């Protein structure tokens, strides 16, 4: 069974489709790995093992009859606990919702299941995805498989930990300010934040008005992410902002990165400080693109730092969605979460106007950058994974972090701008923890992000190294 744990999702699905591997064997391998390491990591928080095994057996029977099981055949799937999967609770990591049982799957889960994936369980997330580490009052703290004393990040920390530890080959994730890229970076996985609307969301009780949060994959290989995207993209009636199908297969295009791309590397965006050993690994990763023949230019353009503005807009939408529940169940919400989103009550139309004028400045700055370059590279995060239960670091390189969201300085700008962005493993820090390189492309060019990430992955393979042994650290 152990040979399946870290096998790429695309390879598992290929072998299942060719009848070289049974969906039942794949599911049993996942359950064995979960039994071995989830008590330490707490990545999966609600399970349906018997139902998943029954579905695996039914899929095996259909394959034996010659039916096509789909491109994601036999893949055990984790669903982030901010997204609905029928038969499992969606708690949003929040005590007032601990018994919330959705009647149906989300649009994304429906499509993943139609492509052959089998829902096995829910993955942990912070309360309403509000923070960049994963803990909540419902399920507790999720830990990093490289060092369980450290966080896998958030808000898709449960998905990231499940992928990096070999518990699951596939898991859903979402990103409102870095919530795919942060945990993918901290566990050394690949994470793609698509363009807003590329992957449909919903059905929802309230349509969202902000355009910063998206669904997307965290995977162990770039091809796995391309396969995932092929299964879920395209307009859906539940999501009025969802984009039409791009008209091509990402998996078919990932090997076709055009030659001699103009690539910018910005090490700070003008305001970020980066941990020394993280920057060392990121610069080595950037060199790969030079070695591949691309024209890489180090730039020091300063982008407007809209960390507070991004947090304000995001918090206001969450507050609007659950305001009634807050008044009824105030004592059950996490104190930090509640304090953060209740600031939304102070926001006026004038505040929103000021924030969106600043957002226009950010948009223009990035538009001008992509007039000169085809791709932008940055560190994914300025730091390595910190303590599993927090607090967030206050210093980098012995100096106080200068900006309010300086610990995640490189991710949220591209939620506010809407550009597709991904993280690949750049290397390992001196503490033996993964760090990441972020790849950003013009709007709607997920294909270019995937092509660049795949070219990097082939030139500098990294996804054969995963934490096979997961043990509780003395730091914890």
Residue 276 has pLDDT above 60, yes or no: yes
Residue 373 has pLDDT above 90, yes or no: yes
The greatest distance separating any two alpha carbons of the chain, rounded to the nearest whole angstrom, comes to 64
d(CA 210, CA 225): 25
Residue 284 has pLDDT above 60, yes or no: yes
Residues in the chain: 476
User: Mean pLDDT throughout 225-231?
Assistant: 98
What pLDDT is attached to residue 107? 98
d(CA 43, CA 134): 9
Average pLDDT score over the chain:
96
Per annotation, catalytic residue among 179, 242, 268, 417: 179
Strand order in the sheet with 262-265: 44-47, 118-123, 76-80, 170-175, 214-219, 190-193, 421-428, 434-440, 375-379, 262-265, 295-298
- Tell me whether strands 262-265 and 295-298 are parallel, antiparallel or unpaired: parallel
What pLDDT is attached to residue 475? 63
User: Mean pLDDT throughout 50-66?
Assistant: 98
Angle, in degrees to the nearest 10, between helices 222-232 and 9-17: 70
Per annotation, catalytic residue among 80, 113, 122, 193: 80
Active site residue 80: yes
From the list 84, 91, 131, the residue with the least C-alpha distance to 332 is 91
Residue 394: how many other CB atoms lie within 10 Å: 10
From the list 276, 261, 215, 246, the residue with the least C-alpha distance to 456 is 261
- Tell me whether strands 44-47 and 262-265 are parallel, antiparallel or unpaired: unpaired
Provide the 8-state DSSP code for 302.
P
User: Mean pLDDT throughout 127-142?
Assistant: 97
User: Mean pLDDT throughout 11-36?
Assistant: 98
The domains of the chain are located at 2-308+348-459
Per annotation, catalytic residue among 155, 156, 165, 417: 155
Instruction: Compute φ and ψ for 344, nearest 5 degrees.
Output: -60, -25
Distances (CA, A) of 467 to 166, 432, 463: 8, 11, 11
Hey, what are 34's tokens?
């979960």
- Tell me whether strands 214-219 and 190-193 are parallel, antiparallel or unpaired: antiparallel
d(CA 374, CA 359): 22
User: Mean pLDDT throughout 108-135?
Assistant: 98
Which alpha helices (H) appear in 201-243, and where do they start and end?
A: 222-232
- Give the DSSP H/E element, type plus range, for residue 47: strand 44-47
Residue 463 has pLDDT above 90, yes or no: no
What pLDDT is attached to residue 474? 46
Which alpha helices (H) appear in 302-394, and where do they start and end?
A: 307-329, 335-342, 349-372
Residue 243 has pLDDT above 50, yes or no: yes
> For residues 72 and 112, is the Cβ–Cβ distance under 8 A?
yes
User: Mean pLDDT throughout 169-198?
Assistant: 98
Give the class (CATH, top level) of 2-308+348-459. alpha beta
d(CA 394, CA 407): 8
Residue 1 pLDDT class (50, 70, 90 cuts): low
- Bigger pLDDT: 462 vs 30: 30
d(CA 258, CA 96): 50
């Amino acid at each position: 069974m152990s040979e399946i744990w870290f096998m790429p999702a695309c390879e598992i699905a290929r072998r299942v489709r060719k009848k070289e591997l049974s969906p039942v064997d794949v599911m049993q391998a996942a359950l064995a790995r979960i039994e071995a390491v989830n008590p330490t990591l707490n990545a999966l928080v609600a399970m349906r093992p018997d139902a998943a095994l029954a579905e695996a057996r039914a899929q095996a029977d259909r394959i034996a009859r010659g039916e096509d099981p789909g491109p994601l055949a036999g893949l055990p799937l984790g669903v982030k606990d901010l997204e609905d999967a029928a038969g499992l609770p969606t708690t949003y990591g929040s005590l007032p919702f601990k018994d919330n049982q959705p009647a149906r799957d989300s649009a994304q889960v429906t499509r993943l299941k139609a492509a052959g994936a089998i829902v096995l369980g829910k993955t942990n997330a912070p309360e309403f995805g509000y923070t960049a580490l994963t803990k909540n009052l419902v399920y507790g703290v999720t830990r990093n498989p490289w060092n369980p004393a450290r966080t896998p990040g958030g808000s898709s920390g449960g998905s990231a930990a499940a992928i990096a530890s070999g518990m699951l080959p596939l898991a859903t994730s979402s990103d409102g300010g870095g919530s795919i890229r942060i945990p993918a970076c901290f566990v050394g996985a690949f994470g793609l934040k698509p363009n807003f609307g590329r992957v449909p969301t919903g059905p929802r009780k309230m349509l969202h008005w902000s355009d910063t949060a998206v669904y997307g994959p965290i995977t162990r290989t770039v091809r796995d992410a391309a396969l995932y995207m092929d299964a879920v993209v395209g307009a859906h009636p539940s999501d009025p902002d969802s984009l039409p199908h791009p008209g091509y297969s990402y998996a078919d295009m990932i090997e076709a990165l055009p030659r001699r791309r103009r690539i910018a590397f910005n090490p700070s965006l003008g305001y970020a400080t980066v941990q020394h050993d993280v920057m060392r690994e990121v610069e080595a990763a950037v060199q790969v693109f030079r070695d591949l023949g691309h024209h890489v230019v180090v730039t020091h353009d300063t982008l407007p730092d809209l960390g507070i503005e991004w947090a304000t807009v995001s918090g206001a939408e969450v507050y609007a969605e659950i305001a009634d529940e807050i008044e009824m169940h105030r004592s059950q919400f996490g104190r930090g979460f509640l304090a953060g989103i209740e600031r939304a009550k102070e926001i006026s139309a004038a505040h929103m106007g000021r924030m969106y004028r600043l957002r226009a400045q950010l948009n223009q700055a990035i538009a001008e950058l992509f007039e000169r370059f085809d791709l932008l590279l940055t560190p994914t995060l300025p730091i390595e994974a910190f303590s599993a239960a927090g607090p967030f670091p206050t210093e980098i390189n012995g100096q106080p972090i200068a900006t309010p969201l300086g610990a995640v300085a490189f991710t949220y700008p591209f939620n506010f701008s809407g550009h597709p962005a991904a993280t690949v493993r750049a290397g390992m820090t001196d503490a033996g923890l993964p760090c990441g390189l972020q790849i950003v492309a013009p709007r709607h060019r997920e294909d270019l992000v995937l092509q660049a990430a795949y070219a990097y992955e082939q030139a500098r393979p990294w996804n054969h190294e995963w934490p096979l042994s997961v043990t509780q650290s003395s730091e914890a």
